[in-house]
Structure 1
Amino acid sequence: MQRTSTFKVLTLLAGILFFSSCSDDDEEEIVPMSFTIADYQSEYEFTLGDTLVIDHEIQNIPLNTGFSWVLGESVISTTKNLEYVLGEAGTFALEFNAKADNDSLFRAYQLTVNDPYELYFRPKTESSSSYISEIIEYKPAPGQFINDTYGTMEAAAKIVGGKSDLLSLGAWGGYVVFTFDHTIENQAEAKDFVVYGNAMNGLSEPGIVQVSFDENGNGLPDDAWYELAGSAHEAETTLLDYATTYTNPGEHADVAWVDNRDTSGSVLVSSYHVQNYYPLFIEEQEQVTFNGTRVYPTINSSGFVSIDALEWGYVDNFDEEYSIYGGNAMEIDWAVDADGNVVDLKGIDFVKVYSGVQENAGWLGEVSTEIKGASDLSMIN
């Protein structure tokens, strides 16, 4: 009888010790979540369009943990780390939450997102001119006027401040980049600027326009460029992502070219212009490559040469409004990015015009865009 009681007591003590040990072990295994580094950057300042990246290092994350990032009143992510493109200017509260059944973490941030247009917009002043204020770069493709008359650096300088002189851009891809002494504003429901050329009825040499805003405020055209998508931009014949490489013949001779579509040809010389057609004032003196879009206006090169205008959106192009403006009026709202998406630009600081056609037009020679200048339409309407 005594042995039985002793056994029961020992068994009871063993059970108590066992459960007590389990309980202690369970309590030791419950370790709360925590950030590996306690200090963190709570305030950020960005420019519109920048990407916010925040990577958290968290210890002891339970399997059932949920994450959320709340910007203002909207959940913008449910992942532990954040990568988010900032698409609205202003000052915003950002919160991070990590929640498990019996645990949670929280952090708060403040974001300031600046609109580069408000930072770097250059307003018109009483002394502002409607015309081009500076030629930033002139790089023509080979052509009959290049290195002579309308195809020199001196000719490029002459289109500043007026519209009476002429500049040739040569064959396909040749370009000029210029700016104004103020930002050209995107006017609602109105054309924004005009580029003057020497087109006439039945003789158009369409050039393509790109625009850029000085988003970093450094005064250089090193920000994103956007093409103004004219009427032929999505035509079946139009070649996007086109490139052509020209080789310097070193003399008055046909200038050979090859493109990225395995097609080759030449800019043909004539007896009327006996200089080397390859631009001798650019850095690339062996070969030069241009990139862009190639369009195909209708060309009749038998007998009396004629080149039909494209419907709208091109320079040196005798469209329906050419006579009204004395040139080609352009709309900033036509701007698209490299994927063809429409871009919302409030204004522009830089304009690039390049020859859009790669053809020889009989006795007329290569099809080469020419321009006389450009104006801010808000100042002349």
Structure 2
Amino acid sequence: PTDWMTGEMTAVTIRFSDGAARPVKGFYITNSTYAALAMEQGDDFSKKFGGEDGNEPDWFRVSVWGMKDGLPTDTLECYLADYRFTDNAKDYIIRTWQWVEVAGLGTVDSLMFTLASSDTGMYGMNTPAYFCLDQLYIGEPADTLSVPGDPYISEVLDYTPAPGQFINAPPWGTPNATASLVGGVTGSLSLGAFGGSVVFRFDGPVLNYPGHPYGVDFTIFGNPLTHWSEPGIVSVMQDENGNGIPDDTWYELAGSDYFFSTTEKDYKVTFTNPGSEVAADVPWTDHLGNTGFIPANPVHPQSYYPDPDSFTGIDPVLYTLEGTRIRGDLAPSSAGTMNSYRRTFGYADNQVRGAAPFTIPDNPYTREVEHSGGDAFDISWAVDNEGRYVDLDRIDFVRVHTGMLSDGDWLGELSTEITGAVRVEPDTAVSGPLECIVIRDLPDTIHTQTHQLEVFVFYRGRLQPDREITWTGSIPGASVDENHVLVLPESGNLTLTAALADNPEITTTISAWVDLSGGSVSERDDSTGRSDRPAPSVYPNPATDHIRIAGAENGTVSLFSQSGNRLLLLEHCTEGETIQTGSIPAGFYLVRIHTADLITTIPLVIQ
């Protein structure tokens, strides 16, 4: 509120009734109807945002201060309206509930809110000083947290491997190997090829506690090398019905590759028993009609199809496994080894091991091994079947499945291995960066003058909309436009670095060789003579109440849910056409654009 006599803003403070300091996860925020209409239309006291021509750079902002013992811990800003964009189509007034993550404020005993606006007068701010807040998520004080029992895995509840070179042989691939995961992090269990899985629990629940180091709640250990990652996808479950068995709802922890267009949800593979008692190629067929095989490796002479006498729950003729599949960067190196490069965060058997104590996790948002190593996970990464983040206060069961279907040549199939897992313990002395930029792998060689990048910004492992990225490249004149299209003027060795505009210390770098000797302009089929047209794009992405379609004139646009249901069909699309998304639930979707010369699929996040 504003003091009408002095024109000064008065801070609003939320204090915890017990006075104890604790972490605060976040809350939902939106504009009040009064403020939204005043900014949209103007009134007797406040202006219409953007002015009559829409070009005036107006804004309305709420600042959130973490407070402890009367002193600020940190602050963050959230814009409830922003008309400062060069492209007026990107101007917005928040009209739906938006999640604001504030765990970075640290441990606080109160939250203080202040408002500011570009529309001010002699009595202070003219914009109505109101906003709406709901569902404030707070944690327990650290000294009240008590989880009984040992922090390591206490029981393995299910082991269903896919065929693989370690299956049916000790120490990695027999039912007895599951016992090695209990009570430590030096066990040995292989999940086999894509879809092979293990389900385990700890002695007591795992709490989703924002005050854990980096906000992560448990760490899974595997046996990756610095150049060889075999990513496993992790899902979690609460024992909602209290029966002690994992028969409720699984929620995938969305890792760094979850939102890439190459990631396939609900992917299914059927493996067929080759009927051999010794190593033989195991054929597979996926639900899309693709076929292949898990290759026999002379180093491992036993049968790779799970032995029906040992794995009684697996059909002796054929069986189907399913889950999310990611595509990694798998390639031979100049030194003659195979490389399967580490994913940024959120996958098991991905980061090398560090040193004890293993209850102090590594930072999943940096590449360095700083503490225990292994792969740390935050329960807050959980998403439902439509890709919407869910808020779980604790979980009881963890499932890991091999997330790639790839052949590592002489190294055999990619198969996630697990050696143990541990709950994280609170430690206020451990801190580090909580933001990261993720870019989908470039091809080894780019042969076109334009290349569509896929890039996402994460804060504490959750997608961050509207974060500005600055780009620098080693090839003179190389640039990245607002739709993340990489433009390359000449051949050469490309090193491309992305940095957050508001926090330039957060960077990531990718590289590729550029060879434009073939003369291609873009990644599309240029037989129609239209290859000079920009690649189709969708913006803003992430979106709230609308999206715009570019580069798809006269094309067909479809919007699909993750489960494959078509939610929208737009024919004869016009350039820059707007599609309203305000009535579509928040989540992950796919936009499929079909033009005269290509079909492309673009991942879309609605928040």
TM-score range, shorter chain: 0.5 to 0.7
**Of 143, 156, 160, the match for 2:178:** 156
**Of 129, 138, 158, the match for 2:150:** 129
Q: Aligned partner of 2:157: which letter?
A: I
**Of 279, 291, 313, the match for 1:264:** 291
Aligned mates of 1:141, 1:368 — CA distance in 2 = 9
Give the percent of matched residue pairs that are identical in Structure 1 and Structure 2.
Answer: 46
Aligned mates of 1:285, 1:194 — CA distance in 2 = 34
Aligned mates of 2:153, 2:208 — CA distance in 1 = 17
**Of 362, 368, 381, the match for 1:334:** 381
1:241 touches 1:293 (CA, 8 Å); kept in 2? yes
Q: Aligned partner of 2:159: which letter?
A: Y
1:301 touches 1:362 (CA, 8 Å); kept in 2? no
- Alignment match, 2:341: 308
Structure 2 residue 230 is the aligned partner of structure 1 residue 205: yes
- Alignment match, 1:344: 391
Q: Deviations over 1:268-298 (max 9, x none)?
A: 0011111110111322211111111111110
Higher strand share: 2
Aligned mates of 2:167, 2:426 — CA distance in 1 = 33
Kindly state the Cα deviation for residue 322 of structure 1 after the two structures are TM-superposed.
5.0
- Alignment match, 1:186: 208
Q: Deviations over 1:217-274 (max 9, x none)?
A: 0000000000000000010111111010101112121000000121110000011111
Aligned mates of 1:272, 1:306 — CA distance in 2 = 19
Which one has more relative contact order, counting CA pairs under 8 Å at least 6 apart? 1
Structure 2 residue 306 is the aligned partner of structure 1 residue 279: yes
1:212-291 correspondence runs (5 A): 212-251=237-276, 252-280=279-307, 281-282=310-311, 283=313, 284-291=315-322
- Please identify, of 214-223 and 280-289, the stretch whose mean Cα deviation from structure 2 is larger: 280-289
1:333 touches 1:345 (CA, 8 Å); kept in 2? yes
Kindly state the Cα deviation for residue 123 of structure 1 after the two structures are TM-superposed.
6.2
Q: Deviations over 1:289-321 (max 9, x none)?
A: 111111111001463111101111001112725
Residue 396 of structure 2 aligns to a residue in which SS? strand
1:212 touches 1:226 (CA, 8 Å); kept in 2? yes
Residue 375 of structure 1 aligns to a residue in which SS? strand
Q: Aligned partner of 2:289: which letter?
A: D
Q: Aligned partner of 2:147: which letter?
A: K
Aligned mates of 1:131, 1:209 — CA distance in 2 = 17
Higher helix share: 1
Structure 2 residue 147 is the aligned partner of structure 1 residue 138: no
Aligned mates of 1:175, 1:312 — CA distance in 2 = 19
- Alignment match, 1:165: 187
Residue 293 of structure 2 aligns to a residue in which SS? strand
1:123 touches 1:182 (CA, 8 Å); kept in 2? no
Aligned mates of 1:324, 1:250 — CA distance in 2 = 46
1:130 touches 1:379 (CA, 8 Å); kept in 2? no
Q: Deviations over 1:172-223 (max 9, x none)?
A: 0000000011000001151000000111211100000000000000000000
1:321 touches 1:328 (CA, 8 Å); kept in 2? no
**Of 336, 343, 356, the match for 2:403:** 356
Aligned mates of 1:250, 1:193 — CA distance in 2 = 40
Change (3 A) 1:343 1:138: same
- TM-score if structure 2 supplies the norm length? 0.41
Aligned mates of 2:261, 2:369 — CA distance in 1 = 25
Q: Root-mean-square deviation (CA), in Å?
A: 1.7
Change (3 A) 1:321 1:336: farther
Aligned mates of 2:391, 2:291 — CA distance in 1 = 37
Q: Aligned partner of 1:316: which letter?
A: D
Aligned mates of 1:172, 1:323 — CA distance in 2 = 30
Q: Aligned partner of 1:299: which letter?
A: L
Residue 151 of structure 1 aligns to a residue in which SS? coil
- Alignment match, 1:13: none
Q: Deviations over 1:105-139 (max 9, x none)?
A: xxxxxxxxxxxxxxxxx9623xx100000000000
Aligned mates of 1:348, 1:123 — CA distance in 2 = 15
Structure 1 unpaired stretches of 5+: 1-121
Aligned mates of 1:379, 1:285 — CA distance in 2 = 46
1:322 touches 1:328 (CA, 8 Å); kept in 2? no
Q: Deviations over 1:132-160 (max 9, x none)?
A: 00000000100000000201111111111
Residue 299 of structure 2 aligns to a residue in which SS? coil
Aligned mates of 2:226, 2:323 — CA distance in 1 = 26
Kindly state the Cα deviation for residue 345 of structure 1 after the two structures are TM-superposed.
0.3
- Alignment match, 1:295: 326
Task: Give the number of aligned pairs.
Answer: 258
Structure 2 unpaired stretches of 5+: 1-144, 352-363, 431-607
1:246 touches 1:257 (CA, 8 Å); kept in 2? yes
Kindly state the Cα deviation for residue 330 of structure 1 after the two structures are TM-superposed.
0.3
Change (3 A) 1:129 1:162: same
Q: Deviations over 1:57-102 (max 9, x none)?
A: xxxxxxxxxxxxxxxxxxxxxxxxxxxxxxxxxxxxxxxxxxxxxx
Aligned mates of 1:322, 1:231 — CA distance in 2 = 18
Kindly state the Cα deviation for residue 324 of structure 1 after the two structures are TM-superposed.
3.0
Change (3 A) 1:322 1:166: farther
Aligned mates of 2:328, 2:188 — CA distance in 1 = 22
Aligned mates of 2:426, 2:294 — CA distance in 1 = 39
Q: Deviations over 1:15-42 (max 9, x none)?
A: xxxxxxxxxxxxxxxxxxxxxxxxxxxx
